Chains A and B, each alone.
Chain A
């Protein structure tokens, strides 16, 4: 080895010594601790302000509903129709679950779809069914119309085949929200100094003569937030609940086609904007979490232009800061195998 190489290595040794001689004093440790406590506070604040925003809008809707029993049936009926864009279905908040305290907060609006056929019978009951009250004293308040509950029991007694698509969805929504509430109550009883939150609201995404899509938005908050959605689709013409495979020809390769498109789109978006990040092409250590393909029954809906949109929950295909992620699928990718659309 040349003399020069030896000197270089000596230089490196010297630099190492210098590097390791650097020492932070105790003030640095203190500053770090303070800054991290601040981060925790900021995080909790962001969470709370978000909760409050959701909470207030939900309370505002409830206020309107509380007045209803004293108004005329005609107005009440019109109010019940409010959330719906038109068509034969209407959606009402069947149950409202609210509870809050310093350490927890929950606001769950459970929707129910009524189709025209059972509206006549239920129109009068509806005004009472929607009657809910919110108290801010940490007491849980909840009301459910006894007649409505009976009606529900009645459907259950019918044979499976008699159930309409709306019955199936209503039942599924109810079971699912019950599950969320049970989990929330369990976690609340487990936490000491932590924070637990649950927000559920809903939205009608599509309502045409032939198609109806209801989205349930769920935000669960614990150590960090978790945001996701559940979609319910009804083909009105066939009175059928629809999932992703139903849209395509049997045995078609829709999973591969859509997955390939989405993988390409992730790469393209990341290339274009380096603030975006998806779980794809990760280094070895994280490759297990990478997006490989969509689930057979992946969340989807059709947007206003009738284009298929594939939806992912938070953390499903991207880091948490990306939130929930969606991809619009161009017609040319799927048009030859798509057999059902709104």
Chain B
């Protein structure tokens, strides 16, 4: 079964706000966010033959966009990512220090950063998130809960 490039184009143009928002949340500026989604859209068409099933189209595009965003910050960011272990350690050492959540999210490595963004900001299902970040569902759950614990976010309100 072949999926037509036009179909993928249509899907990208239908959802472009979502991809742009996700990209923006990594880079916090418009021109970089635009670069990311443009490059992602280009690669989606160029590699359209790697999409095997129509039902994966949405998560597949998300995955390409996420990869572009992560690639971009790896290339351009000044500060290093902080591993979850490191964050955990810092939180334990100084329990009362107020970690700025927004900053913590930016420092979070991958796939944890994307998992949090898609789960809480896009209200996406964990199954879909698992497909996007390329991990199995249990790994995603484990990583999500551990990250929430470190960031001291309670799940009850969600």
- Where the two chains meet, the residues of A that have a C-beta atom closer than 8 Å to any C-beta of B are 1, 4-6, 8-9, 11-13, 15-16, 19-20, 22-24, 28-29, 31-33, 35-36, 38-40, 42-43, 222-225, 283-286, 289, 315, 319-321
Query: Which B-chain residue is minimally distant from A34 (CB atoms)?
Result: B38
Residue pair B42, A38 in contact (C-beta under 8 Å): yes
Residue pair B47, A321 in contact (C-beta under 8 Å): yes
Number of A-B contacts (CB under 8 A): 117
CA separation between A4 and B99, bound complex, in Å? 11
Q: Mark interface residues in B112-146 (1 if CB within 8 Å of A CB, else 0).
A: 00000100110000000011001111000000000
Q: Which residues of chain A have C-beta atoms less than 8 A from B117's C-beta?
A: 19
Query: Which A-chain residue is minimally distant from B156 (CB atoms)?
Result: A1
Judged by DSSP, the binding face of B is helix
Judged by DSSP, the binding face of A is helix
Residue pair B157, A9 in contact (C-beta under 8 Å): yes
Residue pair A36, B44 in contact (C-beta under 8 Å): yes
Tally of B interface residues using CB under 8 Å: 48
Given contacts A283-B134, A289-B52, A320-B50, 13 further A-B contacts (CB under 8 A): A5-B153, A19-B25, A24-B16, A28-B20, A28-B34, A28-B37, A36-B8, A36-B44, A223-B4, A223-B5, A223-B49, A283-B135, A285-B131
Residue pair A5, B152 in contact (C-beta under 8 Å): yes
CA separation between A15 and B38, bound complex, in Å? 25
Residue pair A8, B153 in contact (C-beta under 8 Å): yes
Q: Report A146 CB to chain B, min CB distance, Å.
A: 40
Residue pair B45, A11 in contact (C-beta under 8 Å): no
Instruction: Kindly state whether residue B75 has any CB partner on chain A within 8 Å.
Output: no
Residue pair B156, A39 in contact (C-beta under 8 Å): no
Residue pair B50, A31 in contact (C-beta under 8 Å): no
Residue pair A5, B42 in contact (C-beta under 8 Å): no
Instruction: Kindly state whether residue B82 has any CB partner on chain A within 8 Å.
Output: no
Residue pair B52, A15 in contact (C-beta under 8 Å): no
Residue pair B21, A22 in contact (C-beta under 8 Å): yes
CA separation between A286 and B157, bound complex, in Å? 34
CA separation between A286 and B12, bound complex, in Å? 22
Q: Which residues of chain A have C-beta atoms less than 8 A from B48's C-beta?
A: 223-224
The 9 lowest CB-CB distance pairs between A and B, nearest first, are A39-B45, A224-B49, A24-B20, A19-B121, A320-B49, A11-B101, A5-B154, A39-B42, A35-B38
